Amino acid sequence: MKKILFLFLIWTSLGLAQINFDDYFFDKTLRLDFFHTGDHTTEIISLDELIEEPFWGGSKNNLIDTFNYGNYKFEVRDSATNSIIYSRGFSTLYQEWQTTAESKSVVKSMSGTITFPFPKKTANVEIFRRERNGEFASKFNYSINPNNYFIRKGLDNPKEVYEVHISGKPAICLDILFLPEGYTREEMELFKEDCQRFAEYLFDYEPFSEYRDKINIRGILSPSMDAGSDIPAEDRWNNTLLNSRYYTFDSERYLMTQDYKKVRDVAANAPYDQIYILVNSDKYGGGAIYNYYSLCITNNPMGKEVFIHEFGHGFAGLADEYVDPYTYEEFYPLDVEPWEPNITTLVDFESKWKNLVDEDTPIPTPSTEEYKDKVGVFEGGGYVAKGVYRPTQNSIMRVLSSPGFNQASKNAIEQLLKFYTD
Ligand SMILES: [Zn+2]
């Protein structure tokens, strides 16, 4: 009894008491668009506009984020009580850009958007950014009047939804939304086939395979004028739905779009938790950012492996476990424990996969035959060879030919799947 009471006190003092969705929210989405502006070390977040969208694809039980992942987070507070009624962590392309050499000589703006269930009463939205030391700092504060007639309504251009794999109601399923990029009008049937093919790819990997009946997958049928994607270094510019391009941050295989507003406009046609952009291209490439979007190519021999690797980033915030000294500078400060569940700087390894490491496995763990299939702490990951450690010698977050995620990543993915499908 004592224990139960104690737990209850902790629960309520953290403000995690169950929030009744219908008390605070309508069953639709409010989207807040903004701009990130700054350079290598600075960032201002400024308001763009508010948009009402017809569907809410998220959970109605788990309104408060319990993972603390992401380089940003936002909180929605009920103005009358000042209690948190919704929160989520996320990361952005802008923050990645700030670790490139270009950011030292240029001030740049990039679009950002967040979505949350549409508040019934006046609410406050606050966006926080994770500082170098790992702590969050407030960057943006805005009071929302849900009756403000400047909140834009109506879909830009309503589009047909293709049901790929439907298991149940959006509130109790993980809803993945495939967006077509670089499929012409004549190729809409090809896009449907690719939706089916990539849905099956997802279910080939643990732990997604075990949640097949808790996952919905839909596609939006919206053609592009041209096939493929932009390739700036080859002077190839195509007219496509989502304005994606290779050579993001001048890395040939980093295929992304900076037109985040357009991505959200197209996605608004269906309920979703996760956006996945399928690019009709055979040139190797892809990218994904936590709770932002994932993107992969559909016609490359490595398409399946790229697809699942990128979803590890987009869905579960997994870090790359490989070494790549060329694209970023000090992506992970070595004196701070990164928030990503599958890498550690050993600053706070207790908070990571220590429970999976056998007592007789040395930390750090040598990359020898003896520890080939064991969970340990292997040096090299997060783009650097020294000071960042990964759970296994190989996994799909390090080498695409690996059979799948390592156990630390699987556990992180499964916790999120439970959170979405509760
Ligand atoms: Zn990656």
pLDDT at 13: 44
Residue 17: the pLDDT is: 56
- Give distance in angstroms: CA of 186 to centre of ligand 1: 32
Ligand 1 centroid to 4 CA: how many Å?
43
The Å distance, Cα 313 to ligand 1 centre, comes to 7
Compute the distance between CA of residue 87 and CA of residue 65 in angstroms, rounded to an integer.
5
Ligand 1 mean position to 28 CA, how many Å?
A: 32
Residue 216 Cα, ligand 1 centroid: separation in angstroms?
24
| CA 230 / ligand 1 centre spacing (Å) | 20
Q: What is the pLDDT of residue 397?
A: 98
State in Å: Cα 310 to ligand 1 middle: 6
Q: Looking up tokens 């794999």, which residue turns up?
A: 165
Residue 5 CA, ligand 1 centroid: distance in Å: 44
Cα 311 from Cα 202, distance rounded (Å): 9
User: What's the 81 CA to ligand 1 centre distance in angstroms?
Assistant: 41
Report the distance separating Cα 199 and Cα 164, nearest Å. Answer: 8
| 8 A C-beta contact, residue 143 and residue 124 | yes
From ligand 1's centre to the CA of 292, what distance in Å? 14
Task: Give the model's pLDDT for residue 193.
Answer: 98
Q: How far is the CA of 146 from the centre of ligand 1 (A)?
A: 38
- Listed in sequence order, the residues at least 6 apart from 191 whose beta carbon sits closer than 8 Å to its beta carbon are 162, 180, 183, 219, 221, 278, 280
Looking up tokens 């908070």, which residue turns up?
A: 351
What is the predicted pLDDT for the residue at 327?
66
pLDDT at res. 218:
98
- Tell me how far the alpha carbon of residue 285 lies from the centroid of ligand 1, in angstroms: 10
d(CA 296, CA 292): 14
Distance 349 CA to ligand 1 centre (A): 22
* Residues pairing with 32 in the sheet: 50, 114
303-316 and 188-203 helices, crossing angle to 10°:
70
The CATH 2.60.40.3250 domain(s) of the chain lie at: 14-144
Whether 289 and 112 have beta carbons less than 8 Å apart is answered as no
> Which CATH class name applies to 14-144?
mainly beta
Ligand 1: distance of its center to the CA of 175 in Å? 22
| Distance separating alpha carbons of residues 36 and 90, to the nearest angstrom | 14
The reported pLDDT for the residue numbered 386 is 94
| pLDDT score for 156 | 78
CA of 212 to the centre of ligand 1 (A): 24
Rounded Cα–Cα distance for residues 398 and 163 (Å): 32
Please give the distance, rounded to the nearest whole angstrom, from the Cα atom of residue 309 to the centre of ligand 1.
Answer: 6
Asked if 47 and 60 count as a contact pair (C-beta separation under 8 A), the reply is no
Residue-by-residue DSSP string for 72-113: EEEEEEETTT--EEEEEEE--HHHHHTTSGGGGT--EEEEEE
Residue 232 and residue 244 in contact, taking contact as beta carbons nearer than 8 Å: no
Helices 407-421, 303-316: crossing angle, 10 deg rounding: 60
| pLDDT single digits (tens) 250-277 | 999 999 999 999 999 999 999 999 999 9
- Host H or E run for residue 31: strand 25-38
Strands 215-221 and 174-181, by their bridges, are parallel
Give distance in angstroms: CA of 155 to centre of ligand 1: 33
Closest CA to 331 of 249, 273, 388: 388
Q: How far is the CA of 319 from the centre of ligand 1 (A)?
A: 7
pLDDT < 70 positions in the chain: 1-17, 327, 329
**Are 57 and 272 a contacting pair, CB within 8 Å?**
yes
38, amino acid identity: G
Q: Give the CATH fold of the 160-318 domain.
A: Collagenase (Catalytic Domain) (3.40.390)
Q: How many CB atoms lie within 10 A of CB 2?
A: 6
CA dihedral 112, 118, 122, 123 (to 10 degrees): -50
CA torsion sign for 300, 305, 308, 309 is negative
> From the CA of 382, how far away is ligand 1's center (Å)?
9
- Tokens for 216, please give them: 């919905």
Pairing of strands 44-53, 25-38: antiparallel
CA of 2 to the centre of ligand 1 (A): 47
CATH 3.40.390.10 in the chain is located at 160-318
